Amino acid sequence: MASLSLEGIQKIYPNGFHAVKDFNLEIADKEFIIFVGPSGCGKSTTLRMVAGLEDISGGTLKIDGKVMNDVEPKDRDIAMVFQNYALYPHMTVYDNMAFGLKLRKVPKDEIDRKVKEAARILDLDKLLDRKPKALSGGQRQRVAMGRAIVRNPKVFLMDEPLSNLDAKLRVQMRIEISKLHENLGATIIYVTHDQTEAMTLGTRIVVMKDGVVQQVDTPQNLYNTPCNLFVAGFIGSPQMNFLDAVCNVKGDDVTLTIGEHVLKVPGSKKKALIDGGYNGKTVVLGIRPEDVHDSEAFISNSPDSVITSTIKVYELLGAEVFLYFDVAGTQMTARVNPRTTLRTGDKAVFALDMEKIHIFDKETELTITN
């Protein structure tokens, strides 16, 4: 398998559209790296540049230390799985998997060995004689994966491979792909717009927006310490709550005022606000729905972080309840225990876990406290 290095990669199309800007990333051998971001953020373009399907306008791409900018895609030792995969309708599963190797004039016995090995890994051994129309959606997807595996490439490139599957199958296939990564020990670059997919699959995640890398980190770190407002809002479902708050510094005490609510900033966060000169300025307070508590015990222990509101919507999801309410004109979500007694229309008291809050500069949108 292989390591990759992307140094200052740029993509500018002939019509002037600047799709990827100064993309820098080191990908270690056997890493499962995810490019995630909204549609049009440049993640697929970056993947296609790695594949050689798009010319690189600037910067250097290296695979195992060798510069690959001008190397033909077929000589890069990569395999791809894309969203709109097509199985050849008149061929069996075996032939579908063998087709690419036949085109490359690989000897028959080698093809046979590789196809059977891939079929074993993907649990397709018993389906090798079937035609695509006799397969389920998940099985078809596995055959598409098999076509990539038989090439035994240095790097797997996957562009939204699960997007055409229904929600249930997607979850199953996520597990399959995760297992596949373990079994193959392969370097995988995986593109998705689905943050759940990104969080569950990747060893590291690259969050992109408007052609610019926003943050590269482990799923845990992205969730706990987002570097800016975009990453904070993009990672996590339901998304983080954001409230405009005025920062007030009085001696050692720092408070955040949101409408009629005054919240005391804990010691771990206040230094950055004082040092950054935020006294009197409006900042953005971010808090995840699970850090907004309705339990009496938590509220009584956190008198300096209490907010009140009226529940607008009560949503029971079985293992958890989402409560939607407004604070100072902004909608908030709390993820609470299903045993909560709060219902739509109730006056509610919540306490924020102030150790878990995130504070962002309103203008630059960068984190102040992480």
Partner 1 sequence: MDHTQELQKALQELRRITGIGLDVQAESEEETEQAVAQIRCLCTAYKEKYNKTDFLQSLLTGGIPSYDIHDRASRLHINVDERRVLFLLETKKMDETVTEILKSLFPSQTKTYLVPVSEKAAAILRPMRAAETADNVRAIARTIVDTMNTEALAHVRLAYSSIIGTLSDLPAAFQEASLALKVGKLFYSEQTVFPYNELGIGRLIYRLPFPLCENFLKEIFGEEIPESFDEDTTATINRFFQNNLNIAETSRQLHMHRNTLIYRLEQIQKRTGLDLRLFEDAMTFKVATMVINYLHAERNQ
- Give me the residues that bind partner 1 (CB under 8 A), please: 12-19, 21, 45, 48, 51-54, 72-74, 78-86, 88-91, 99-100, 103, 147-148, 210, 363-365
* Distance in Å, CB of 83 to partner 1, minimum: 7
In the block, residue with structure tokens 């993640």:
43
Identity of the residue, 164 or 200, whose beta carbon is nearer to partner 1 in the bound complex: 164
> Could you tell me which of 47, 57, 115 has the C-alpha nearest to residue 81?
47
What is the separation of C-alpha 274 from the centre of its chain, rounded to a whole number of angstroms?
33
* Distance in Å, CB of 14 to partner 1, minimum: 5
Identity of the residue, 148 or 245, whose beta carbon is nearer to partner 1 in the bound complex: 148
> Could you tell me which of 51, 145, 161, 152 has the C-alpha nearest to residue 96?
145
Identity of the residue, 78 or 258, whose beta carbon is nearer to partner 1 in the bound complex: 78
* Distance in Å, CB of 293 to partner 1, minimum: 32
* Distance in Å, CB of 68 to partner 1, minimum: 13
CB 263 within 8 A of CB 254: no
Identity of the residue, 97 or 348, whose beta carbon is nearer to partner 1 in the bound complex: 97
Report helix, strand or coil for 115: helix
Rounded CA-CA distance 190/289 in Å is: 28
Rounded CA-CA distance 50/86 in Å is: 22
Report helix, strand or coil for 285: strand
196: exposed, middle or buried (Cβ count in 10 Å: 0-12, 13-18, 19+): middle
CB 207 within 8 A of CB 215: yes
Identity of the residue, 53 or 313, whose beta carbon is nearer to partner 1 in the bound complex: 53
Identity of the residue, 99 or 314, whose beta carbon is nearer to partner 1 in the bound complex: 99
Identity of the residue, 99 or 322, whose beta carbon is nearer to partner 1 in the bound complex: 99
Identity of the residue, 148 or 332, whose beta carbon is nearer to partner 1 in the bound complex: 148
* Distance in Å, CB of 38 to partner 1, minimum: 12
Identity of the residue, 54 or 244, whose beta carbon is nearer to partner 1 in the bound complex: 54
Give the β-pairing of 204-209 and 32-36: parallel
* Distance in Å, CB of 166 to partner 1, minimum: 16
Q: Among the residues of 81-188, which ranges form H helices?
A: 93-103, 108-121, 137-149, 167-184
| Phi, then psi, of 36 in degrees rounded to 5 | -130, 150
DSSP string, 218-261: -HHHHHHS-SBHHHHHHSSSSPPEEEEEEEEEETTEEEEEETTE
Which two structure tokens, joined as six digits, stand for 210? 């408007």
* Distance in Å, CB of 85 to partner 1, minimum: 6
* Distance in Å, CB of 143 to partner 1, minimum: 12
* Distance in Å, CB of 199 to partner 1, minimum: 25
* Distance in Å, CB of 84 to partner 1, minimum: 4
From residue 62, alpha-carbon distances to 7, 70, 80, 262, 301 in Å are 8, 11, 18, 52, 54
Identity of the residue, 103 or 297, whose beta carbon is nearer to partner 1 in the bound complex: 103
Rounded CA-CA distance 83/158 in Å is: 8
Please, which residues bridge with residue 367 across strands? 360
